[in-house]
A and B are shown apart, each in its own frame.
Chain A
Amino acid sequence: MFRLVKFATSAILLCVTLAVATSAIAQKSNTKFPGIGRDATPAEVAAWDIDVRPDFKGLPKGSGSVEKGQQLWESKCAVCHGTFGESNEIFTPIIGGTTQDDIKTGRVASLTDRKQPQRTTIMKVATVSSLWDYIYRAMPWNSPRSLSADDTFAVVAYLLSMAEVVPDDFVLSDANIAEVQKRMPNRNGMTLKHGLWNAKGKPDVQASACMHNCVAFVQIGSVLPDYARSAHGNIAEQNREYGPFRGSDSTKPPLEKLPGSGSTQTVAHSAIAKPKTPEDLFKENNCSACHAKATKLVGPSTSEIAKKYQDQSGAENKLVAKVKAGGSGVWGPIPMPSHPDVSNETLHTLVHWVLTGQ
């Protein structure tokens, strides 16, 4: 009886849903495919069509000051990008490597003189619209679409002030952003002269299809350095352990001679059907998206957590509850999301591993 009632309820719900969907259909004329698709409402288009082009088509009205941008930055962005957008810890740096001279010429000199160790966003980006569009649509990384248009103007203003494109008291708005574009350090740094926009484009190199005696002297220019031999783990465990093409055991030095077909396998041990380690679970349950072992990512490192709770009794139970329910304020402004779907058993395994390494 209960099941019947439940079924009836969902059937009614389904009918209601279908009715709503059907009533919304507005069929355009001249369709080749009657009954398929419907016109979008203006509100729907406005909700999704948020892109901003280099000519600023699509840019909403609004404004934001450098000062407000700095406040937003410090509370929402600095944790990943550093206070000055300089951090190389989680993502590549945003600010650095541009000069007043670049702002005059529209070409970033450090792209050629290599004085800047790493290419920053502001060195590369030619169009301020790209910064605005992306921050508005996708930032902050773990909470996209949470910034208003005014917030976005403010954050972009703060970034540009750090690159000295705008002064510290600047208010960026839809009215003056085109003027700011004229000061973008790498605004003249892009070229469309290449053959890779269209399959019919002309390639920039034409190699020879020589078949015999093509090179006088075959010289090896680069090999994998010895220290990198095991940097990608044991290659033997990344190939079949049978058949002609097995992996070499990269945890050991190369073999002294050809093993021969009758030799004992080169593979030391098998990865087959290994039970899941806490580390596997840590990755599987997405913990590793925000926490690493030794470095702070979006959240604290697992070693920091272990250190903080090392002498506290009942820490495991406390943390299990915390991971499940979520929380904030312990490690900074970025909240720990709740994880209701992870089983208690898995949570205990994970927290135990974080706290003890086992």
Chain B
Amino acid sequence: MTRIDTKRRGQIQQAPENFLTQDAIADLNKNGMDDTRRGFMRNGFMAALGGAVGLGASMNALASSEGDPAILEKQVWQTTLGKNVATMPYGTPSIYEANLIRRESPGLTRVSAASVAFTPLQGLFGIITPNGLHFERQHQGWYNIDPEMHRLMVNGLVKHNRVFTMNDLMRLPSVSRIHFIECGANTGLEWGNVAVPTVQYTHGMLSCCEFTGVPLSVLLEECSADLKKGKYLLAEGGDGSGMTRTVNLDDVLNDAIVAWGMNGEMLRPENGFPLRLVVPGVQGVSWVKWLRRLEVGDMPYATKDEAVHYNDLMPDGLARQYTSIQECKSVITTPSGGQQLLDKGFYNVSGLAWSGRGKVKRVDVSFDGGNNWKTARLETPVLTKALTRFNIDWVWDGSPAILQSRAIDETGYVQPPIKLLRDARGTRSIYHNNAIQSWKVDSNGEVSNVQVG
């Protein structure tokens, strides 16, 4: 038996040229078509199509006339004893997944304690981001805060200034909800032109988790907050930056959560262990980590990250302040920039859609740079202010193509092309770029980041 190069496992060695054997052809000529043969022919047709447009990749090719050594040869994992339970008491992904990790974008910042690590969206499925791959944005480094030493204070326009320990908070009635979190600066590098190669760097300041915690409204009610006068909430972190953001209580009182849980376990330290604010639909900077204080107030606070950063500069020199909502947006994650298709034929084109204003209603996909569109399948669940997975069939004929996705949310808002956004906001606003993303597929199979129009 020929040994197969381990790099080529499961791959076709050569396209099957005579997909119908001489015997089968003779059989058909003699006996005509019946159901069995029709099934056989259908398979044969697929193979023929493979021969014509290079579908071979999806077929199991044979290295020799006998068959595939992956089947014919006994593999080590079939013939030896495997590892014990709890060999890895906290499990980690397969070693074959080592490439899918959070990464920094070189040159984006100069100090890694005030920087970003992007989620590898190009390799993820469904809508939930694994905890170890949730994107990171740190302003002054992260800590493992001792949960026994962590306190949450609620003060300001409340009858009672209160202090809660983690023990207190985790006794309160909790909810678990799935929401996306997106940094306001996600895709911010692309306002002027294409700047980065892959979806990890164009859209990777995006994650989605099931968060568990006590509704903000329950806590504020418990402290007898004056919500008539107090329309604003200052959320403050317990880290060195004492990160502060103003939250619009009118907007988020019904869905904000003071959360400790993330996908079934406690928050990861990089993501605010043991407590963070979850503000569905609002940009990530407001989801204050290591949350230590909530102050109810009657005016916005103009904190550093509301007065110097996270403002959207318009062409007339005015900056839009307190821009918070993440508008409807989508992106195709496979195939996406930097990927290499090996062959023509069938692909499941897949991506993510989301809206800070509610549920995703529809996603359309174009294969010709936005001239014609087809509606994609939305996979369940479709939840409010959560990532929604979409899929659409594609048979690639090998000619250059430009793939785009366009999401529409339940308010009827349609994700815009970059030109429309630039016409309204110029190219220097950094934040809230929710433009349609284009991926060009070249005839050599390489996928690259392009902007159309």
Contact = CB atoms under 8 A, between A and B. Distances in A.
B162 A37 contact: yes
A226 to B, nearest CB: 11
A203 interface: yes
B196 A232 contact: yes
User: Looking at chain B, what size class is its interface with the partner chain?
Assistant: 35 or more
A112 B317 contact: yes
A137 B216 CA distance: 25
A341 interface: no
Given A219-B452, A247-B340, A289-B113, A232 B105 contact: yes
B338 to A, nearest CB: 4
Contact of B317 (A51, A189, A200, A204): A189
Given A220-B440, A242-B96, A206 B414 contact: yes
Given A238-B103, A289-B111, A245 B416 contact: no
Given A112-B317, A224-B448, A248-B340, A37 B168 contact: yes
Given A138-B140, A206-B414, A222 B111 contact: no
A224 to B, nearest CB: 5
A134 B162 contact: no
B51 to A, nearest CB: 12
A21 to B, nearest CB: 8
Contact of B371 (A119, A213, A298): A213
Nearest to B13: A262
B71 to A, nearest CB: 17
Interface in B368-410: 368-373, 398, 402, 406, 408
Interface string B76-99: 000000000000000000011111
Interface stretch (B35-43, B54-62, B259-267, B269-277): B54-62
Nearest to A136: B242
B325 A196 contact: yes
Interface in B335-350: 335-344, 347
Nearest to A111: B317
Interface string A110-136: 011000000101001111011101100
Interface in A183-215: 189-201, 203-215
A49 B424 contact: no
Interface stretch (B24-32, B175-183, B205-213, B243-251): B243-251
A272 B319 contact: no
Contacts of B408: 209
A223 interface: yes
A220 B194 CA distance: 11
A218 interface: yes
B441 to A, nearest CB: 10
A248 B364 contact: no
Given A107-B317, A144-B140, A254 B357 contact: no
A298 B112 CA distance: 12
Interface stretch (A38-46, A166-174, A323-331): A38-46
A211 B281 CA distance: 28
Interface in A272-316: 272-274, 283, 286, 288-290, 292, 295, 297-298
Nearest to A28: B160
Interface stretch (A5-13, A66-74, A263-271, A349-357): A263-271
B163 A40 contact: yes
B144 interface: no
A223 B219 CA distance: 50
A219 B452 CA distance: 6
A250 B197 CA distance: 10
Contact of A196 (B111, B314, B323): B323
B445 A224 contact: no
Contacts of B322: 192, 196-197
A261 B345 CA distance: 10
Given A90-B111, A190-B319, A240-B97, A218 B369 contact: yes
Interface of A: 21, 28, 30-33, 35-40, 44-45, 48-51, 53-55, 89-91, 107-109, 111-112, 119, 121, 124-127, 129-131, 133-134, 137-138, 141, 144-145, 189-201, 203-215, 218-224, 228-229, 231-233, 235-242, 244-250, 254-267, 271-274, 283, 286, 288-290, 292, 295, 297-298
Ranked 6 nearest A-B pairs via Cβ: A261-B57, A218-B369, A130-B307, A235-B338, A134-B304, A207-B416
